[in-house]
Amino acid sequence: MKQLNLTALNAKNVKDHLPSDPQEELKALEDYAAAGIQIHAAGTIGFLKDDDDDMRGKFEYCKRARIPVIVAGGAAPAILPRLEKFVKEYDIKIAIHNHGPEDKLWPSPLTVLKAVENMDPRMGCCMDIGHAARAGTDVVQAIHTVGPRLFNMHMKDLKNFDAKDSSVAVGFGIMPVREAFEALIVTNYMGFVDLEYEVNEDDPMPGVISSFTYMRGVLAGMGYRTHE
């Protein structure tokens, strides 16, 4: 992250990021703070049970880390009212993650919006732009449609929207990256765009660097400063 000049992170709730043991969490949080890194979201965190104790433990986890957004996975529509109760209690946003055509619950951010649009305004969406495109969603229009319910975005690129395994570094595929940034700006998006790079696991840094270089170049070309 230092090499990439990044100061904000969406952390997975796994051992190497934020352990579930409070004392280990405190040490991890101290390490992030010492490095000047803000943890702006956690997830995906699975909400698979319609159960108070299960949900409360996950909200407590994020409360301890002062994380304002939970990226939620697997939350069935039937449990959303219980999730909404904890959102109100903890004042932590829920951003339900869409997972493409294989996801029978949340293939698209538009599916999420339909389920939460009459709920507390802190109930919203994490738009995975790659999965959304594979589900046949016009990702640029979806940004406009979801609007203030969009709390987080996972950025990736694909060579073919019909092929899950066609992921490439951002800028090397067919994703309308510039148009997506334009839509985020027009809709006054206040969240983060998180690179989710899942290619070349043995040597990801070249593709990660390339992806950030491309995205920063797009924004610079639009007249925006991307980092100090």
Ramachandran region of residue 109, left (φ > 0), alpha (ψ -120 to 50) or beta? alpha
Q: Is the pLDDT of residue 137 over 70?
A: yes
The pLDDT of residue 149: 98
Other beta carbons less than 10 A from residue 150's beta carbon: 25
Question: Is the whole model's pTM more than 0.75, yes or no?
Answer: yes
Task: Give the mean pLDDT of 72-80.
Answer: 94
124 is a domain residue: yes
Smallest Cα–Cα separation from 96: which of 124, 55, 137, 58? 124
Q: Is the pLDDT of residue 164 over 80?
A: yes
CA atoms within 13 A on the CB side of 107: 9
3 is a domain residue: no
Task: Give the mean pLDDT of 204-221.
Answer: 96
45 is a domain residue: yes
226 is a domain residue: no
Q: What is the CATH number of the domain that holds 173?
A: 3.20.20.150
Domain count, the chain: 1
Q: Rounded to an integer, what distance in angstroms lies between the CA atom of residue 150 and that of residue 113?
A: 9
2 is a domain residue: no
Domain range for 31 = 8-221
158 is a domain residue: yes
Q: How far is CA 22 from CA 15, 69, 134, 215, in A?
A: 12, 19, 38, 36
Ramachandran region of residue 116, left (φ > 0), alpha (ψ -120 to 50) or beta? alpha
As a whole number, the mean pLDDT across the chain is: 93
| 3 state SS of 62 | helix
Give the confidence band of 23 by pLDDT, cuts at 50, 70, 90.
Answer: confident
Give the confidence band of 18 by pLDDT, cuts at 50, 70, 90.
Answer: confident
Q: Give the tens place of pLDDT for each residue, 186-197.
A: 999 999 999 999
Give the confidence band of 106 by pLDDT, cuts at 50, 70, 90.
Answer: very high
The pLDDT of residue 188: 96
Q: Give the tens place of pLDDT for each residue, 214-225.
A: 999 999 999 987
Between CA 5 and CA 15, with CA 11 as vertex, the angle to 5 degrees is: 120
